Amino acid sequence: MSAFLTSCSDQDVDDVIDSFIAQLDQSSSVKRSYRKIIPVFWNKVYPAGGKTLYCAQEFDGGYHKEVNIEHIFPMSWVMKGLRCGDRGQCRRSSERFRFIESDMHNMYPALSEVNKVRSAMAFGTIKGEKHLRIDAAPNCDFEVDFRKRRVEPSPASRGEIARAMLYMDDTYSELELFKRQRDMLIKWHESDRPSKLEKKRNDVIEELQGTRNRWVDQ
């Protein structure tokens, strides 16, 4: 969550969000950025809170230091695809990067502890049980293989993960998934179908940024 939200009144935040949404409505070419999207994401997509993606940990609306935004398709992969440098360099020099970074179809609430550990590791399956020990969610079903740099999310979250990853792969020509991983994600999508809540989220994001995730509509 941006520090901006902790230093302004609720009315100030609402005014900024409404102004930015109005710009998005008026022009598809408005310069999007992650910093501008952060308050929109929390106050419009999750105004009453919800559950984190990987651990299904409930959180209320508003600022929570233990919950932050996870980019399902890692931004380091985007940096590599665009060849724009590190994240700071990409934000300064690449409008394309800023646009991709602020795509809310690729953004989900996650426990910051899990987000940090996952980093840019690929999704997959892990032999045995290698659960990550998480203080905020001791029963979280999230496994990590640090040697192979792979994470295995719970079956309940795999569909949402798959649809976000497949959307990014389809939407941005600079990004690419290996065939083996894409095939796995399609299987995850088919075995964990979109819920009513995920479909509603798709509707809300379309209202805010003008695009849908077609995988959620299937």
Domain residue extents for the chain: 4-208
Contacts of 89 (CB under 8 A, 6+ apart): none
Q: Which of 144, 158, 75 is nearest to 114 (CA)?
A: 144
Q: Which of 41, 178, 196 is nearest to 108 (CA)?
A: 41
Output DSSP code: residue 43.
Answer: I
Beta bridge partners of 68: 110
Output DSSP code: residue 62.
Answer: S
**Whole-angstrom Cα distance, residue 182 to residue 114?**
23
pTM for the full model?
0.86
Show pLDDT as tens, one digit a residue, over the chain (218 residues): 333 333 344 544 455 445 545 545 443 445 789 999 999 999 999 999 999 999 999 999 877 889 999 999 999 999 999 999 999 999 999 999 999 999 999 999 999 999 999 999 999 999 887 788 888 888 899 999 999 999 999 999 999 999 999 999 999 999 999 999 999 999 999 999 999 999 999 999 999 999 999 999 98
